[in-house]
Every structure is written in structure tokens, then in C-alpha cells.
Amino acid sequence: MKVWNRKFACLFSVLLWAVPVLSLGSALLLFSSFPAYAAGGMSRLADFADLLSDNEESELSDLLDEISDRQQVDVVVVTVDSLDGESAMVYADDFYDYNGYGFGDGRDGILLLISMEERDWYISTAGYGITAITDAGLEYISEIVAVGLSAGDYAAAFTDFAGLCDDFITQARNGEPYDADNLPQGSFGVGGKFAAAFLTAFIISLIATGIMKGQLKTVHRQPAADNYVKQGSMQLTKKNDLFLYRQVERRRKTESGSKGGSETHTSSSGTVHGGGGGKF
């Protein structure tokens, strides 16, 4: 009986130690299965308009989290069905502010809002996001992202946005933000891919037409239009001069003393924001 009691006591002691360890391990496993979130507890991808597949959401969430945590600047994408009567600027700023986005005291971050009913996009910047994404940089990014949005390739557009934010933040931390006088050279993302595809198709068409032209052995170019007209078959009875068109060349006037940088405004929460938007 004493031997049994001793065995039972040993078994009970092992269980007392095992239960907390197993509970701790389960808690760690459960915690590690959740994606990273912004400081306010909100996911950095809020696809309320359901524009992305499950796989696209997972990949984009991971990308946004990795960039945000590494740069210590929240990079956020939000899609909604409607702005519910608000302007895109007010909706984006308030969504950012009242959902607790932003690192540090400056609430550093960049948010892209897409509204499907109004076909509006807006990029809201705060804290270091205002420094990294100047007005000229915002225009540069929007031209690239808008290509994917207009084509309905939302996953590519959002991925381009995240990558460009990463590039612009890195450039700003290295000393001089991208601005009107030092924007990146070349094209990025969907716009670059479209241009490359167009150029490739154009080259292929030139080759194809060249081959077809070489096969026309019995056709020769004539130097004048008269060679194509049968003598005596056409008689002019009336002639006059008609003005067809004129060519006007316009050049953008460069404003002297342009300083670049970012214009800012204050949201309803009292937070200072930069940003801008448009249609797609």
C-alpha cells in the first residue's frame, strides 16, 4: 500500500509540473499562429470590399507586417464598398487615427484607401510617413498603383504600393527623401510591366511585318502617285484648298523656387496628415 501511495504521489507531481508547461506551450503556439498587428490591434490589411482571394490576403498581410515592423512605419491597405458620404481624405484619416495605426509619438505610417462605389483612392500619411512620401513622391506612387487599380488587378496594385513605400522610407532614412528633383528613375510595378509588355509586342510586330514585306517579291515601291493612275482615267472639274489641321506644341512652364516637400492638414482627431488621392 505504501509503494502504491508513493507511485501515486510521484505521478501526481509529474502532472502538476506537466500541466503548466503544456498550457504555456499551447499559449505560445496559439500566439504564433496569429498575424502581426499594428499598435492599436488592427490588422494592416482591412479588405472590407473583399477584393482579394484568401491566398492574396495572406501574402499581402505578411508583406505589410514585414515592412512595417522592419521600418517601424505602419504600411496599411484598406478597401471599402462605400465612403458613406464622407470624402476620401476624411475617411482615410479617421480610419487611421481611430484604429490606432502608427509607430511612436508621431504615429508614423502610410495608409492606402480604396472605395469601390465612388472609385476613389486616397493615400494618407502621418508622422515619418509625411517625411518619406512627399507630394511629388505621392504623385509618382499613385501613377503606378492606379494602373493596377484601373485594370482590376488589386493584388498587384497593393503589392506595388507596399514595395514603393518600403523604397521611399529607405531612401528617406538614408538622408534625402525622394522629391520633385530626385524621383526614382525608370518604372516600377504594374506600370513597368505594362510598358515592357507593350515594347515586346511592338518589336515582335515589326519583325513580323518585316518578314511579310520581304516575301512580296513581285511588288515594288513607286516613287510617285502618278504611277498608280491610268493615264486619261481621271479628270479634275473643280479644285479648292481646304484647311485640315494645325499642330500646336505646348510645354509645361517650370515654376521657379519650387521647394517640394509635403502639404499637411489636421484631421478630426487633431493628428497632422499629408496625402492625396484621385479616381481609378
pLDDT tens readout for residues 194-252:
444 555 566 766 676 666 666 665 556 666 666 666 676 666 676 666 555 444 444 44
Would you mind telling me the total number of residues written for the chain in this entry?
280
Q: Give the pLDDT of residue 104.
A: 95
Q: How confident is the model at residue 260 (pLDDT cuts 50, 70, 90)?
A: confident
Local structure of 251: helix, strand or coil: coil
Is the pLDDT confidence value at 114 over 80? yes
Instruction: Give the burial class of 79: count Cβ atoms within 10 A of its Cβ; 0-12 exposed, 13-18 middle, 19 or more buried.
Output: buried
Q: Which residues contact 122 (CB under 8 A, 6 or more apart)?
A: 88, 89, 91, 92, 112, 113, 275, 276, 277
Q: Considering only 47-51, 188-192, 230-234, 275-279, which range has the smallest mean pLDDT? A: 188-192
Q: Give the pLDDT of residue 146.
A: 95
Q: How far is CA 152 from the centre of its chain?
A: 13
Percent of the chain with pLDDT over 70: 60
Higher pLDDT, 159 or 245: 159
Mean of pLDDT values over 87-99: 98
Mean pLDDT score of the chain: 79
Note if the pTM is more than 0.75.
no
d(CA 148, CA 44): 20
> In which region does residue 64 sit, left (phi positive, over 0), alpha (psi from -120 to 50) or beta (all else)?
alpha
Q: How confident is the model at residue 58 (pLDDT cuts 50, 70, 90)?
A: very high
The three-point CA angle 156-190-200 to 5° equals 135
Is the pLDDT confidence value at 97 over 60? yes
Strand ordering across the sheet containing 120-126: 45-47, 74-80, 109-115, 120-126, 272-279, 265-266
d(CA 265, CA 125): 10
Residue 75 phi, psi (nearest 5): -115, 115
Q: Give the pLDDT of residue 234.
A: 65
Read off the amino acid at residue 194: F
